[in-house]
Amino acid sequence: MEPLAVLMMAVFTVGYLVLAGADLGVGMVLPWLGRDQRERRLVIASFAPFFLGNEVWLVSAAGIAAGAFPGLEHRLLEGLYPLFVVLLVGWVVRDMGLWLRGRVDGVRWRGGCDGAVVAGSWLVALAWASVFGSVLFGGVGLNAGSVVGLPLAGLFVLHGAAFAGLRLTGAPAGRAGRFPGQYPATAAVLVAVPVVAGLRLPWSEMAAPGMGLSVTAVVAVVMLPLLVGAQALVWWTFRGRVRAPSYL
């Protein structure tokens, strides 16, 4: 059962990084892609219908960690405590910027929310880069890799720009096109990084004793087709390029 649980951990982590990595990246380059507030709203519309469905991959990955690998929670969250606090703060700031942006009709309000989206996206991306650096470097807790890994945040920028290029039209799409990298390529790197990092972790030592691991793994395997189906429905519904602002 343990390899199956590790596989599910990988699927949900990779799912998060590839899908949410794109909307994080768009958030990071929001000021460059959209030159005024109307353009920025359009840029946000490129991922607006997806971001709720994207971040749940991480929520589920954390859930699988809690159920199947409590040691991983212990090792990463407790060991890399400051990084995960930054990640969570960034996540909350970013999400609230997205949710609140359209709630009040005011230039300064929208400007503040755009700022929250950009700052939050950078915080989350830098925190992930540092987490991957720390794990790839092989130590427990903060280490040299926590700093060396920071440039990995650039991956999210490229991935986001590639995604925006596929989703947008007109001037913002043109600006997105100036970033190097194609979506499949940046996605492949975002798959490779966590897989390599995961190979460095001692999974057996972190596994839940008793049947907790099996229950979690089986539930994840059984649910996965349904979850992918639900997400596919979202992707299909919003498959067209963005030409008008959305609810956010």
Q: Segment 48-107, which members bind other proteins (CB under 8 A)?
A: 48-53, 55-57, 59-60, 62-68, 70-71, 73-74, 76-78, 81-82, 84-85, 88-89, 91-93, 95-96, 99-100, 102-104
Nearer to other proteins, 178 or 241 (CB): 241
CA angle 126, 78, 155 (to 5 degrees): 20
Question: One symbol per residue from 108 to 147: x for binding other proteins (CB under 8 A), - otherwise; what is it?
Answer: ----------------------------------------
Contact in structure between 214 and 1 (CB atoms under 8 Å): yes
| Contacts of other proteins in 187-216 (CB under 8 A) | 208-213, 215-216
Residues in contact with other proteins, counted by CB under 8 A, come to a total of: 75
User: Per DSSP, which regions of 39-171 are E strands?
Assistant: none
Q: Is 23 in the site for other proteins (CB under 8 A)?
A: no
* Sequential DSSP letters for 34-49: -SSHHHHHHHHHTTHH
Nearer to other proteins, 27 or 186 (CB): 27
Q: Is 220 in the site for other proteins (CB under 8 A)?
A: yes
Report helix, strand or coil for 101.
coil
CA nearest to 4, candidates 25, 183, 12? 12
The distance of closest approach from Cβ of residue 154 to other proteins in the complex, given in angstroms and rounded to an integer, is 25
Contact in structure between 129 and 148 (CB atoms under 8 Å): no
In the numeric block, which tokens belong to residue 151?
């440039």
Nearer to other proteins, 154 or 198 (CB): 198
